[in-house]
Structure 1
Amino acid sequence: MWAPATRDGAAAEYIAAPSLTFWQDVRKRLWANKPAMLGLGFIILLVLAAIFGPMLSRHTYFEQNLKLSNVPPLFQTYEVTDSAGATTRFFFNSGNLNLYEVTPSGEVAGLLRPAKKDLIKKQQQFKFGDREVVLDTAKQQLSFADGTALAPSGWQWNMSNLLGTDQLGRDVLARQLYGARISLTVAFVATLVNFFIGVFYGGLAGYLGGKADTIMMRIVEVISTIPLTLYVILIMVVFNSGFLSVVLAIGSVYWVDMARIVRGQILTLKQQDYVAAARTMGASTPRILVRHLLPNSVGPILVTLTMLIPSAIFIESFMSFIGLGVTPPEASWGTLTSEAVETLRAYPYQLFFPAAAISLTMFAFNFLGDGLRDALDPRLRT
């Protein structure tokens, strides 16, 4: 029943778990970070929607239909049946005081024209076969000719324009997708410009050291004392509005943080033995930077790069919002919010969708950046 316990000395030294390289461990910890994965998934879906969404949409971002302006994405429908049994479905837009016919599938068929208008009583009469519906524009009420109130039949999602239309009858979803393409393109291109300038400048300052480092970092401090948003506005005023102007303005200013981080990493790494060995073997400064120093600084660089993208999106949206960014008829999230402010009280959905897109995108990149920071931190390795 009982057996003596034995101990195998060789088995005690056996490591059951396989060893992981640094990047395998980074991937494992990043995958285990749920907020970071949620942010990464949202970013991937957003990029795919920005690339393929405008191609698949049946509307273009510039297509106008003034008869269907300011149509909401969700509306309350009414039904009127005449003596012949024909039923007409429609909804009342309280913002512009119009009636729109709706098909059973939820498609907006078009604007209904009143048969008669009474400007004194502020009423409009609509004919549906032998039935008559009166719209009291002052009270915003619908009733039959005998005064009986017309009760709504239910809520219907707008299947013609899933996110509604704007004040010019343009599809909000199509403009949202195209705006995502513009905003993300500006953010990625401007971030790449920041990356190359910041890495080159910071790496050179950190490697040279001495007076060169002092002078170069004093220049960075002078640039940092200027409010960066004001500096971007001044550049936009000089070079006029447009896509390239936004990229130039953001890319020429926001590299200072990248330069500081890269400089700090280079100052630490250049004292390592492998750098001294490379220098002894006659390696040039560019080779030492590119082959030895910058690859070992990739962790902080990636984290900073991830954090620069939401900043670029916000700056581009802000510039377009005040009229210094992307110019109409081009659509970006900034121009969408700027146009929606004019109709905020009557049609808040026009501001909600681009504002939500900006907020969610910034959250997603911040979650991903935090996850990368934790995954790349060697002190957190288990």
Structure 2
Amino acid sequence: MSASLTALARRRLARDRGAVAALVALVATALACLIGPFLTGHAPERIYPDFVRTTPSLSAHPTPDEIRPALDRLAQRMRVTLEDVRREGGQVRLTLNAQKPIDPRNLVLLPRSDLFGPATVIERSPDGRRLVVEAPLRRLHFLLGTDMLGRDLLTRCLVAGRVSLLIGLVATLVALSLGVTYGAVSGLVGGGLDALMMRVVDILYALPFVFFVIVLLVFFRAGLWLVLVAVAAVEWLDMARIVRTQTMSLKSRDFFRAAYALGSDTGAVLVRHAVPNTLGPIIAAATLLVPRVILLESFLSFLGLGVQEPATSWGVLIAEGARALEAAPWMLAAPAGFLVVTLMALNRLGDGLSDALDPRL
């Protein structure tokens, strides 16, 4: 496309407020997935045993109701009796008793927990069987709650978004490269070559996708790259058919005949006329292909053929949330919310780009 047509398409897109809002939402989601995990204060693999299946909240943890049960568990591990607990601002003061002298080294269990910092002995009885200890309270926030293991769900959703968006974008780019080239050549050349190329597409359509993935597992380990190869290897077929159909409909147009009459070869017509005039359907199909790839990755991960732990994706999190729907519905709502927003933004942006890049307008 010439610079003037590109600028015109950009102005058309800018006037479409819905498409601009969708683009902003996609950029914000991508930036959140890239930068957000460094700002949440939680490592994605960090397990908080004291906060398993914690509900979403804006309040800091531990709450007053969570302090005493956690201290009772720690006292049992230290083999002492928790006589008194007092909370003073950001500190907690404990009075510990035992039948034998208490070893101060056991107090390292406090900072090893999720709730308390390093402990300081304030008072000690002469026989060592009674200690008064003071420890700072940690302030933890779980805006979207935690999962079945006690991992922060917001951090995991953001990290999972990196994998899902990477799979969607890379597989879509590969599918576009193969599908557009293959379909445009097939539709423009026509004849016996077109029939042969379409029969190859039909044969590939007939191959069961799961069987194809299982064959790949014979040669490669299950993981992210296997998903990329498997999805990119089959998702270009629809794109090839779409571009072929559009190209064949354009061959009878006057500007195609004029290009050949002016001495343009097949390659020049393909690059300057065929592909630019099919950009509208291509962009629309591509924006629908990204969410389909993400959902396909979810299916593979659900079967254990896709992304493997400790890595995760929105599909993996949705599968985990579906299994824990009754006990922890937020585990499904959080990743599903990210996925739904992304899919809606992609669809709306695709509509805007399709209109902006339509050369007939």
Query: Normalization by structure 2: what TM-score?
Result: 0.72
> How many Å apart are 1:176 and its aligned residue?
0.8
Q: Paired residue for 1:257?
A: 238
Report if aligned partners of 2:44, 2:152 keep a CA contact under 8 Å in 1.
yes
Q: CA RMSD in A?
A: 3.4
Report if aligned partners of 1:70, 1:167 keep a CA contact under 8 Å in 2.
yes
Deviations 1:76-106 (A, max 9, x none): 999xxxxxxxxx9524xxxxxxx347xxxxx
> How many Å apart are 1:39 and its aligned residue?
2.0
Report if aligned partners of 2:49, 2:149 keep a CA contact under 8 Å in 1.
yes
Report if aligned partners of 2:277, 2:358 keep a CA contact under 8 Å in 1.
no
Unaligned runs of 5+ in 2: 77-81, 88-138
Deviations 1:282-307 (A, max 9, x none): 65543442344323332222222222
Which residue identity lines up with residue 365 of structure 1 in the other structure?
A: L
Higher helix share: 2
Q: Paired residue for 2:145?
A: 164
Q: Paired residue for 1:90?
A: 64
Counterparts of 1:126 and 1:219 in 2: how far apart (Å)?
78
1:46 matched to 2:29: yes
Counterparts of 2:287 and 2:83 in 1: how far apart (Å)?
57
Secondary structure of 2:70's match?
Answer: strand
1:68 matched to 2:42: no
Q: Paired residue for 2:353?
A: 372
Deviations 1:303-343 (A, max 9, x none): 22222111111111222223211000002112222333443
Do the aligned partners of residues 113 and 346 (structure 1) sit closer, same or farther apart at CA in structure 2, a change above 3 Å counting?
farther
Do the aligned partners of residues 44 and 69 (structure 1) sit closer, same or farther apart at CA in structure 2, a change above 3 Å counting?
same
Counterparts of 1:175 and 1:36 in 2: how far apart (Å)?
28
Q: Paired residue for 1:286?
A: 267
Deviations 1:111-148 (A, max 9, x none): 3426999xxxxxxx995459xxxxxxxxxxxxxxxxxx
1:266 matched to 2:240: no
> How many Å apart are 1:350 and its aligned residue?
1.4
Counterparts of 1:179 and 1:50 in 2: how far apart (Å)?
8
The 4+ residue runs of structure 1 with deviation greater than 6 A are 75-78
Q: Paired residue for 1:194?
A: 175
Which residue identity lines up with residue 22 of structure 2 in the other structure?
A: G
Do the aligned partners of residues 115 and 217 (structure 1) sit closer, same or farther apart at CA in structure 2, a change above 3 Å counting?
closer
Which residue identity lines up with residue 90 of structure 1 in the other structure?
A: P
Identity percentage of aligned residues: 38
Q: Paired residue for 1:137?
A: none
Match of 1:59 among 39, 42, 47: 42
Counterparts of 2:35 and 2:70 in 1: how far apart (Å)?
31
Report if aligned partners of 1:115, 1:126 keep a CA contact under 8 Å in 2.
no
Secondary structure of 1:372's match?
Answer: helix
Deviations 1:200-259 (A, max 9, x none): 21111112210110121122233335565x456545654442111101111011111211
Match of 1:346 among 303, 306, 327: 327
Do the aligned partners of residues 345 and 193 (structure 1) sit closer, same or farther apart at CA in structure 2, a change above 3 Å counting?
same
Q: Paired residue for 1:111?
A: 70
Which residue identity lines up with residue 64 of structure 2 in the other structure?
A: F
Counterparts of 1:245 and 1:325 in 2: how far apart (Å)?
7
Report if aligned partners of 1:337, 1:354 keep a CA contact under 8 Å in 2.
yes
Deviating more after overlay: 267-276 vs 176-185: 267-276
Counterparts of 1:185 and 1:115 in 2: how far apart (Å)?
43
Deviating more after overlay: 32-41 vs 251-260: 32-41
Q: Paired residue for 1:94?
A: none
Counterparts of 2:216 and 2:150 in 1: how far apart (Å)?
30
Do the aligned partners of residues 343 and 76 (structure 1) sit closer, same or farther apart at CA in structure 2, a change above 3 Å counting?
farther
1:223 matched to 2:204: yes
Counterparts of 1:64 and 1:231 in 2: how far apart (Å)?
36
Q: Paired residue for 2:99?
A: none
Match of 2:292 among 302, 311, 334: 311
Counterparts of 1:270 and 1:250 in 2: how far apart (Å)?
31
